[in-house]
Amino acid sequence: MRTTYLTASVIAALVVLWLATGQLGEPPTPPASSITESNRRVAALKEERPPTRVRVATIHATEQSRVLTIRGRTQNKRSVVVQSQINGLVVNRPVERGDRVTKGDLLCQISIEDRRARLIEAQASAEQTKIEYEGALKLSKQGLQSDTAIAQSKAKLAGSQARLKESMLELARLKIIAPFDGIIEKAQMEVGQYVTPGSPCVTLVDLDPMLLIGQVAENELLFIKPGQIATATLPTGVQVFGEVTFIAKTAEKGTRTYSIEAHIDNSDFAIPSGVTAQIEIPVESLRAQKISPALLVLSDAGQMGVRAINAQDIVVFHAVRIIKDDVDGVWVTGLPDVARVVVVGQQLVVAGEAVAPTHQALNTSSLL
């Protein structure tokens, strides 16, 4: 039994000693004191373990515009219900739904009835009171007319002139005319209908210029300025261009987004109101490179980036930001102007690792 205990004790002592050698090994290597020392360590590391073979491609940065893409819609500038200002019977409505009209065109006409007779009466009354007032002034110069009589005559003249103007306005209001160029969206009045003040004649829609309406997040708001050119792609594939004319200063409740507007030419009325549109606004110019999305990797911290190699063939991780998409790749910022990007084997290496690179031409379409 003593021999068994002794053997077990020796074995336990050896195990403890073996574990201690792992915990109490050599202290961590201090950082290199110079570039020469760093190169020496890299060379030693290469001798100890053969470097991973990877393919790299050299890419160069170019000036690119970062484009802000907004989901929006078209919207007519204004829509007005043109109404009657007087009562009467509708005798003419020369327009129909969908008709294009210009400013001043006749939309609806109301019967004249006895308004012309009232106009003639008002003209005669105004002429009479004018003669009376002028006579009163002559008598006043001769001292035969009091100031009170002169004032009364003047008041009668003013009243008759006001009634004459009112009668003339009534005749003018018999014709309901278009206040601006547009399209007849609805026709409410019908011939033979008796209308009163405020009765709708037609709904007139102004389609030129057409508005592009979109919502922008608060972190992108500072990049948009009035006067910038916005490009919109309509569901039909047609592209239209316009100038940013309005940027909201208060956020929409609930979404915390800001409204923007751009004016686009629609002189032919070809663009309808209310269709969806993908709006693109160039907001800044950056140095960027085009790469395949397959080259994008995540760091241990969760950052999106690209693995490249430096002059010593050591892997370096560069955090990047996508600024726009193309059919054959994505444009990113964050890389050096001239970068040797790992295009094959980027998932097999980590930052700080020495590699054996093989150079190849970068073809983004083949790496998608």
Domain boundaries, given as residue ranges, for the chain: 35-63+286-367, 68-77+204-285, 112-173
Cβ–Cβ < 8 Å for 290, 63: no
Q: Which residues of 164-196 are buried (b: 16+ CB within 10 A; e: fewer)?
A: beebeebeebbebbbebbbbbbebbbeeeeebe
CATH of domain 112-173: 1.10.287
Task: Annotate 104-115 with DSSP letters as a single string.
Answer: T-EEEEE--TTH
Type of residue numbered 50: P
User: Structurally, what CATH architecture does the domain formed by 35-63+286-367 represent?
Assistant: Beta Barrel (2.40)
Task: Annotate 275-299 with DSSP letters as a single string.
Answer: -EEEEEEEEEEEEEEEE-GGG-EE-
DSSP H helical segments within 221-357, as ranges? none
User: Structurally, what CATH architecture does the domain formed by 68-77+204-285 represent?
Assistant: Beta Barrel (2.40)
Per-run averaged pLDDT (10 residues), the chain, 368 residues: 63 65 53 67 63 89 86 91 91 92 92 78 79 76 72 80 81 89 92 91 92 89 89 90 91 88 90 90 87 88 90 91 84 90 87 86 48
Nearest to 282 by CA among 240, 327, 224, 222: 224
Q: Do domains 35-63+286-367 and 112-173 have the same CATH topology?
A: no
